[in-house]
């Protein structure tokens, strides 16, 4: 069983397009996250949702819009894609009340904008 899954794993698209990445977790966690890993492998949080409510929104262009239809899903929609959006995007989940248990990551989505 896959704990945290993301689709698609690879996404190649042109500048100006709109795309979505889907994430699902079956761990029963109440908090989900989106991270961006740049070409230098640096990981930075973008968003966090707890029980479908946005609790963290780091400095991210408003072209990025997360949507959480329920506790098990957190999708990322990106409008008007730019070259600089090329990166690997990771979804993760955890239980907010047990922050010491760590976060569990999906396999990542490699986004390439041409």
Partner 1 sequence: AQTVTQSQPEMSVQEAETVTLSCTYDTSESDYYLFWYKQPPSRQMILVIRQEAYKQQNATENRFSVNFQKAAKSFSLKISDSQLGDAAMYFCAYKGNTPLVFGKGTRLSVIA
Q: Of the two residues 80 and 99, which places its CB atom closer to partner 1 in the complex?
A: 99
Q: What angle do CA 50, 73, 48 make, to 5 degrees?
A: 35
Minimum CB distance to partner 1, residue 60 (Å):
13
Q: Of the two residues 101 and 114, which places its CB atom closer to partner 1 in the complex?
A: 101
Minimum CB distance to partner 1, residue 100 (Å):
4
CA dist., res. 5 & res. 62, Å (int):
25
Residue 79 token pair: 């409008």
Q: What is the DSSP string of 36-102?
A: EE-TT--EEEEEEEETTEEEEE-S--TTEEEEEEETTEEEEEE-S--GGG-EEEEEEEE-TT-GGG-
Minimum CB distance to partner 1, residue 108 (Å):
5
Q: How many CB atoms lie within 10 A of CB 94?
A: 21
Q: Which residues bind partner 1 (CB under 8 A)?
A: 33, 40-45, 48, 56, 58, 88, 90, 92, 99-105, 107-108, 110
Minimum CB distance to partner 1, residue 45 (Å):
4
Q: Of the two residues 79 and 101, which places its CB atom closer to partner 1 in the complex?
A: 101
Q: Of the two residues 5 and 65, which places its CB atom closer to partner 1 in the complex?
A: 5
């Amino acid at each position: 069983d896959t704990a945290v899954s993301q689709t698609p794993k690879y996404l190649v698209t042109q500048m100006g397009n709109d795309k979505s990445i889907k994430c699902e977790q079956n761990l029963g966690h109440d908090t989900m996250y989106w991270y961006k890993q740049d070409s230098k492998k640096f990981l930075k949080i973008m968003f966090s949702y707890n029980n479908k409510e946005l609790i963290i929104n780091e400095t991210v262009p408003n072209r990025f819009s997360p949507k959480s239809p329920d506790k098990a899903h957190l999708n990322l929609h990106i409008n008007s894609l730019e070259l600089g959006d090329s990166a690997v995007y990771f979804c993760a989940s955890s239980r907010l009340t047990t922050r010491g248990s760590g976060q569990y990551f999906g396999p990542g989505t490699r986004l390439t904008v041409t």
